[in-house]
Amino acid sequence: MNLWFRLIWMLLHRPWRRPVPGLATTVIRLGVWPLDLDFNRHVTNGRYFTLADVGRMDYVLRSGAYRVALRHRALPIVGDVWGKFRRELRLFEAFEIHTRMLGWDAKWSFVEHRFVKDGRVLGVVIMRGLFRGPKGNVSPAEFARELGLAEQSPQLPAWLTDWSASCDQLSSQLRDEEQQLA
């Protein structure tokens, strides 16, 4: 079952899944298929990032974020993704992806995806992203307000703000390098 089938499967089940508040955790249940594996016969590192997309789509639909994006004619943009791998997933094992909004800053929203099996966290994928419309980026505070949340983000953990700052520093370095080549 490739990722399109998983996405369609999730969408077909959507009518039976209740809407959730913007800071709630959504859970989808999946299984490991042959195309998810690498040469070590466990889920390949990159597949975690792709499977997180399916979890994020479920969250965006159930939280109502898609309605806010439609009002702004905005598309989701993933800025950076980071992963932590703790345990392996093998062929035909069932697992869950727990997705939640961690918070936001002036530019980015931060989403966490936990890969869970039998109550243990096997891996975590963190994404920082934004919504961009014809008039530019939609402010995360405005997006939160339209989702029915406070404009002020929940407190972000220090490791997350440090990671975000390191992403900004790398982006700045890459821009500087490009200017030197021009």
**Where are the chain's structural domains?**
3-155
> Is pTM beyond 0.85 here?
yes
pLDDT per position as a tens digit, 9-57 = 767 766 667 889 999 999 999 999 888 899 999 999 999 999 999 999 9
Instruction: Give CA–CA dist 167/87, Å, rounded.
Output: 26
Task: Give whole-number Cα distances, 17 to 28, 37, 48, 59, 126, in Å.
Answer: 10, 29, 23, 11, 24
182: pLDDT confidence band, cut at 50, 70 and 90?
Answer: confident
Q: Where are the alpha helices (DSSP H) in the chain?
A: 3-13, 45-63, 65-71, 140-146, 158-181
| Predicted local distance difference test score (pLDDT) of residue 50 | 93
Q: Which residues face 117 on adjacent strands? A: 120
Q: Which CATH architecture has domain 3-155?
A: Roll (3.10)
Return the amino acid letter for 144: A
